Amino acid sequence: MQLPHSENRQKYIDQIKVVEANLKDATSGEKDKALLALVQKRLDSLAEKYQFSEEIGTARYKLYELQALVHYFNGHDDDALDFINQAIEMRGEPYAKAEKLKKQLSLGDSYLSKTTNPDKITKEQRRDQKIGLEGWLALFIVGQILALLITVFRFFSDGFMSSSDVSTLNEYEHGLGDTLQALTAFENTAVIIYVVLLITMLMLLFRKRKLAKPFAIATLIFAAAYGMIDYAAASDIFSSSGLAGNAEIQAMMSKYSGDVGRSVIGVLIWVPYFLISKRVKRTLTK
């Protein structure tokens, strides 16, 4: 003989096991959309009956866990995360199955992206799952292409000092021309490295390679670090030579400080983006 609440609890557990078995069948191999829809229907029915039942107690966490899994298999990752967190809260403690699902979701390990041939994913699915070179990632790429073009243009337009420039500066102050020529050589070397990093990064991005992420971060940090070092060195040279007050030098340094500032802001914006973006994780997979 069983107490009424024990009998109800056992009925609940038995029905949960049926739904779990259905869910396993629906997602083993190729996803059975019809069976998955049936799982959702049965889960809704169970939730209507047991979701607020105090007789079932903490065992109600299975309702939230199963709903999280249904959302996961349907590609609704944000909803899946909400429900699995609710399952943990209902149970009163973390547990292995929930933590595994949370880890998959935090890594952008979408069921859709794992089980669907990328070439066969529809445009709508790509957008829903944040897959592809779109959104903020596309904006970043456009910005880097512009940076590449501007850098190359500046390199060939004013990246070199003539011998007459060096002589004139040396006459103004002994060794000044040679010092600035050395600084220019450093700048040109850094620019070449930066251009190589930019081109490599863009190629990796267009090919959706995993290496694009570290290359993007390295390129951003290199540009900011080089800019700050170069600006500090130039400021010191112009200050010690007495040219800091020259109107042309001031205009040049003001323009350059803006470039450095934009590089630093770029690091602050885009490095965190590449570290946490779901689109980056789901797009750069090769």
Which sequence spans correspond to the domains of the chain?
4-119, 135-283
- So what's the pLDDT on residue 78? 79
DSSP state of 118: G
The structure's pTM equals: 0.58
For residues 199 and 193, give the distance between their C-alpha atoms in angstroms, rounded to a whole number. Answer: 10
Would you state the pLDDT for residue 1? 35
What pLDDT does residue 3 have? 46
What is the spatial distance between Cα 219 and Cα 38, in angstroms, rounded to a whole number?
50
H helices of 74-134, in order, are: 77-91, 96-106, 111-115, 123-128
How far, in Å, CA of 128 to CA of 123, rounded? 9
Q: Which residue has the tokens 């096991």?
A: 17
Q: Which tokens go with 186? A: 């450093």
pLDDT of residue 36: 87
Sorted by sequence, the CB contacts under 8 Å of residue 167 that are 6+ apart come out as: 177
Those residues of the chain that have pLDDT short of 70 are: 1-5, 107-129, 159-178, 244
State the sign of the Cα–Cα–Cα–Cα dihedral 44, 46, 49, 54: negative
Report the mean per-residue pLDDT for the chain: 82
Question: How many CB atoms are closer than 10 A to CB 225?
Answer: 14
Q: Report the C-alpha gap between 84 and 129 in whole angstroms.
A: 19
Is 181:161 a contact under the CB 8 Å cutoff?
yes
Tokens describing residue 12: 């609940």
